[in-house]
Amino acid sequence: MWWCIASVMAQEFIVDIGEPVEVRSAGAWIRSIPTDDGWVAIMGGNSSLSIATLSKNGDALQDWVLGPKEPIVSERGLIDHGIQVCPNGNILHAANATVEGSPDDFMHVNLFAPDFSRIFHQEIRDGVGSHAHNDPNVFCSDIGMGYLASVQGMEFATDFFSLDSNGALMETIPLEDYPRGNGGGVWADPVEQVIVQTGMAHGRPLTVNQYDSEWQLLNSYEIDLVAPPLRAYWPQSILRIGDYYLLGHMVRDDAWMGADNGDVYISIFDLDWVLQAQYPITTYNSDAAMRPWIAHKDDQLLISFDAFNEQMLVEARLDLSVFGERDLDVDWDNDAEDTAINPQKEDGCGCQSGSSSILIIPLFFMGLLRRRPL
């Protein structure tokens, strides 16, 4: 057992993490997206949406420069934003806005081409008065696109608003009551043939639901990400590299004063959602950061978030040899009858893999992971 622990602790998924960089843009929502030529940032601010190039003027992890910002929508009054890059390179965007003269809100939905020309814009008024549209949870895949929105109030109930190729509402599909869709993440894994939804309520474990292409529940997992007095929340950004999932989320100590801000973390899981490693991206140790996002290009990992009302960026470097090689550039096979969901992987010592940067020893987390029966 001790040989197993020593061997897996030698693995490092993330080998270098830079210091946070202020990109000199005020606002709350910043999403870094890789392109053929480099990187761009999509940013919310001044109740609208803009893009700008991200480039480096040196070799250090902190040498990032934001180019001139250009608005890409004409609508005003946008509040919270959700973005997902589609398999074909298009970008699906959703933002809520308040109904005139009412506290209720609705959703603006945009689809952009890879060059950020707008393919469509729709106002989705369905759900006004019944659903919360804040902190959109956007979904775009080979099997469809849309967004998750939860019912207003303290009840746990979430629906998937399915959109057609023009962005018009096709149907509303009820999902599992928990977790709430707002503030969480959702992504379709074309290799495992599952839709992955992540979310958590205040003080509750991370919940991961897996659905098939018809949004029928396949598996559900609950995972305690941190130990008291820390609390994890906002598991909003999901990424798969090789044989592992990366999850961007927040962590805070509720003894900190102020709003629900804290530090940005990345947790890494195997395909069975067993926690393998955890990395603090920021170490403010105070009411500081929020709205995390992760994206990668080769071994370059960019983490974007906002802190102190400034849009921020952290560059990290991955050891891709640790992640294994799995091609995500595949089509979702709706006709597959014998698709293996989360196949068991053999390893040399039969123990959980991990990282020397994990914050709690692996044996502790092995006891905290529990699968909820269906």
The answer to whether residue 334 is domain-embedded is no
Same domain, 179 and 268: no
- Is residue 92 domain-shared with residue 201, that is, in the same domain? no
Least Cα distance to 96 among 150, 153, 53 occurs for 150
Q: Is position 342 within any domain?
A: no
| Domain match, 34 and 170 both | yes
**Among candidates 181, 184, 161, 159, which has minimal Cα distance to 171?**
161
User: Which tokens in the block code for residue 177?
Assistant: 């009551």
Cβ-Cβ contacts under 8 Å for 12 (sequence gap 6 or more): 277, 319, 322, 355, 356, 357
Give the Cα separation of 334 and 248 in Å (integer).
29
* Domain C-terminal end among 130, 162, 183: 183
Tell me which H or E stretch contains 300: strand 300-307
Task: Evaluate whether residue 47 is within a structural domain.
Answer: yes
Number of domains in the chain: 2
Residue 333 located in a structural domain = no
Closest CA relative to residue 185, chosen from 199, 206, 171 = 199
Predicted pLDDT of residue 155:
75
Same domain, 29 and 175: yes
Asked whether the whole model's pTM tops 0.75, one would answer yes
Which pLDDT belongs to residue 336? 42
- What is the extent of the structural domain holding 158? 25-183
pLDDT attached to residue 113: 97
Counting beta carbons within 10 angstroms of the beta carbon of residue 117, is it exposed (0 to 12), middle (13 to 18) or buried (19 or more)?
Answer: exposed
Q: Are residues 129 and 90 in the same domain?
A: yes
Same-domain pairing of 286 and 371: yes
Residue 44, domain CATH = 2.115.10.20
pLDDT averaged per 10 residues in sequence order, the chain, 374 residues: 39 95 93 95 94 97 97 96 96 96 94 97 96 96 97 87 98 95 96 96 94 98 96 96 97 89 97 97 95 97 96 97 82 54 35 38 38 38
Residue 66 shares a structural domain with residue 101: yes
What pLDDT, on a 0 to 100 scale, did the predictor assign at position 156?
82
| Assigned domain for 14 exists | no
Q: How far apart are CA 314 and CA 41, in angstroms?
A: 13
Residues 316 and 286 in one domain: yes
- pLDDT for the residue numbered 330: 78
**Single residue among 183, 210, 226 that ends a domain in this structure:** 183
Domain match, 178 and 82 both? yes
Of 138, 165, 183, which residue is a domain's last? 183
Q: Which helix (H) or strand (E) holds 283?
A: none
Q: By the 8 A CB rule, do 92 and 109 touch?
A: yes
Are 162 and 287 in the same domain?
no
Q: Are residues 201 and 69 in the same domain?
A: no
Q: What integer pLDDT is reported at residue 350 of this predicted model?
A: 34
Are residues 77 and 164 both part of a single domain?
yes
Q: Phi/psi of residue 368, each to 5°?
A: -85, -25
Q: Is residue 305 part of a domain?
A: yes
Find out whether 362 and 8 touch, Cβ atoms under 8 Å: yes
Confidence at residue 289, expressed as pLDDT on a 0 to 100 scale: 97
